[in-house]
Amino acid sequence: GNPGDVMEKIAMHQVREILRLRWSLGRSVRQTAASVGLSRGVVSKTTTRASLTGLNWELVCVLSDGALDERVYGKPAALTGDRAEPDPVRMHLELKRPGVTLELLHIEYKEAHPDGFQYTAFCQRYRRWLKRTAPSMRQRHVAGEKTFVDYSGVRPHYIDEATGERVYVELFVAVLGGSSLTYVEATHTQTLADWIGSNQRMYRFVGGVSRAQVPDQLRSAVSEPDWFDPTINRTYQALATHYGTSVFPARPGKPKDKAKAEVAVLIAQRWILARIRNEQFFSLAELNARIRVLNDELNLRAMKRLGGRNRRDIFEQFERDTLLPLPLTTYEYSEWSKARVHHDYHVQVDDHYYSVPSQLLHEQVEVRLTATTIELLHKHRVVATHARSRVKYTHTTTPAHMPPNHRGWAEADPAGVQEWATSVGPMTEALVKRIFESRPVMQQGLRSAMGLRRIGQRYGPDRTEAACGLALRFGATSYKPVERLLKLGREGTGGGDESPTPIEHDNVRGPDSFN
C-alpha cells in the first residue's frame, strides 16, 4: 500500500530538522523529540522511514521539499489508481448521528469498495478535509447532544416613536450542535425574565430539546461563576429541569467551549444585523418580525463546505428525531431569593409580608416567587405556600403558623369587638378601626381592641366615648391612652374645639407621649 497510509504526516521542515539532529549532530531520540516539540514515537518512526528509503543526510540536503516528501511518505493519494475516494462531507454528517464512528463508516466503505483504502488512509482523508473547514466544524457535535446559547456584542435598535430616540436591545442567539440550526431574536435586556423567555421560544422554534445547554457564564445563567463548579441560577435550573435538559456553562476564558455559539453570533451579525443596518423599526415586535424572516433565510442558506446542504435540511435529516420532546405542561416562570424570618414569624417579599411556622423565627428561608404563588422553603423543604398578594405593606397569615398564644387571640371574634365599639359611639368605633389599621398583624390589633372593650365595660359607655374622642385627637393607636384618661378622670378636659388643659403632675408627660 501507499507509505502515506502508515502514519500521520508532519511538516517537511520538521522532517528535515529531525534528520539533521539525528544524522548530522548525533542527537538521541529523546533529545531530538524535546528540541522539535514532537513525541519520541514520531521522531523514531520518521527516522526509520527515511532510513528504509535509502536516504542519508547528504541526500536530504540536496532534495527539494517535494522530492523529500515523496521519498518519506510516498506518492500523493491522487496517483494511487482507481480506488474510490471516501466522501468527507458525508462522513462528517454521519458522524453527527449517535453511535456512529469512523471505524463503522470504514467498514461500510469497504463493503461498498473492497479495494478501497485501509482504515488509516481512510481516516487521514477525513481529517485533512476537516482541517480545512471552520474551527467550529472541527469539534464533533453529536446530533441532539448540545445547544449553544449566547448574546451578540453588536446590538440592534428600534426608534421610539414618542421621543425619536434609538432604543438599543439585545440579540439572543442559539445554535444546535449537530445541525447548526440557528435561532435569533431581540429582547429588551439580558435580565432573567428575558433570558428565560428567549430559551422557551427557542425550544418552541426547534420543536424539541437537546440533552445539554451550553451558555456563557452570564448573570442570568450563572449566579456564582466558577472555573470548575459554577452555580446555576435557580430559575434557569428549574427551566432546565422542566424541559428535561441540563446546563453546562462554558469555562471563563475558554472560547473553544462555545466556539459553535461564537461562530453563530458572527454569522447572525453578518447575515441578519448587516442586512437591516439601513432599515428602521418602531417597536421590538416590528424588529423581531424582520429578524424572523432573515433567520429563516439563514437556515436555508447553502453551506459550501457541506456540499451545498443547508442547516434546515441537515436538522430535519439528522437531528430532529434525536431531540427530547417538549413537555406537555407549560413552564411557570419563577424567581428565587433568600429572606430572614422577622420576629413576628413573617418574611418580606416584594413589599408584602407572608407567614411561616413560628418555630423558624430569625431563620433564613428560600423564596420561590411566581406570578400567582409564594413558596417558602427551609433546608430545601417547603414550609409555607401562599397566594401572591399585590397589596404592599400588608400581611398574609396562616393561623397554623402562629404560636399558641397568638392563635388564641386569632380565634377570638374581632367582629364582636367592632359591634361593641359601634354600640358605644362613633369615637370608640373610630379608635377601634385605627387600632386594627395600625397593626401589621391583625392579632396584635385585636389584643389592643379587646383591652379597650374591657376598660369601656368598667367605666361605662359615656366616659369611654369621651375618652376615645380625646385620645383620637392625640393620635392614639392603642387602648392605653384611654385607660390613663379614665383612671385620672380627665376624659372631659378636651371638649369642644379648645385644647385640653395641661395636667400638671410629675407622672404625666402630656399628649405628645400618646403618639
**Residues paired with residue 158 on neighbouring β-strands, in sequence order:** 167
Among 345-349, 379-383, 386-390, 410-414, the minimum mean pLDDT is found in 410-414
CA distances in angstroms from 211 to 56, 78, 137, 148, listed in the order given = 56, 42, 20, 11
Contact (Cβ atoms closer than 8 angstroms) between residue 478 and residue 435: yes
Kindly state the average pLDDT of the residues 165-176: 95
- Write out 88-151 in H/E/C secondary structure: HHHHHHHCCCCCCCHHHHHHHHHHHCCCCCCHHHHHHHHHHHHHCCCHHHHCCCCCCCEEEEEE
Give residue 375's pLDDT band: very low, low, confident or very high (50, 70, 90): very high
Give residue 383's pLDDT band: very low, low, confident or very high (50, 70, 90): very high
Cell numbers representing residue 130 in the block: 476537516
Kindly state the average pLDDT of the residues 100-116: 84
Sheet holding 364-369, edge to edge: 335-340, 364-369, 373-378, 381-387
**Residues paired with residue 193 on neighbouring β-strands, in sequence order:** none
- Give residue for cell 544524522: 23
Nearest of 415, 386, 380 to residue 399 by alpha carbon: 386
User: Is 69 or 353 the better-scoring residue by pLDDT?
Assistant: 353
The region that residue 32 occupies, defined by phi over 0 for left and psi between -120 and 50 for alpha, beta otherwise, is alpha
Could you read off the pLDDT of 117-163 as tens digits, one per residue?
888 888 888 888 777 665 544 456 788 899 999 999 899 999 999 89
Kindly state the average pLDDT of the residues 504-515: 54
Mean pLDDT rounded to a whole number for the chain: 84
- Give residue for cell 457541506: 306
**Residues paired with residue 246 on neighbouring β-strands, in sequence order:** 212
pLDDT value of residue 75? 61
Kindly state the average pLDDT of the residues 150-178: 93
pLDDT value of residue 66? 79
How far apart are alpha carbons 454 and 109 in whole angstroms? 99
Q: Please state the pTM of the whole predicted model.
A: 0.54
Nearest of 431, 185, 383, 425 to residue 284 by alpha carbon: 185
> 97-109 burial by CB neighbour count: b if 16+ within 10 A, else e?
beebebeebbeeb
Q: Which helix (H) or strand (E) holds 62?
A: helix 57-62
pLDDT value of residue 256? 62
Q: For residue 192, which amino acid is it?
A: L
> 180-197 burial by CB neighbour count: b if 16+ within 10 A, else e?
bbbbbbbbeebebebbbe
Cell numbers representing residue 399 in the block: 393561623
pLDDT at 4 exceeding the cut of 50: no
Could you read off the pLDDT of 421-459 as tens digits, one per residue?
999 999 999 999 998 888 776 667 887 888 899 999 999
Could you read off the pLDDT of 224-245 as tens digits, one per residue?
766 666 788 888 998 999 999 9
What length is written for the chain?
A: 515
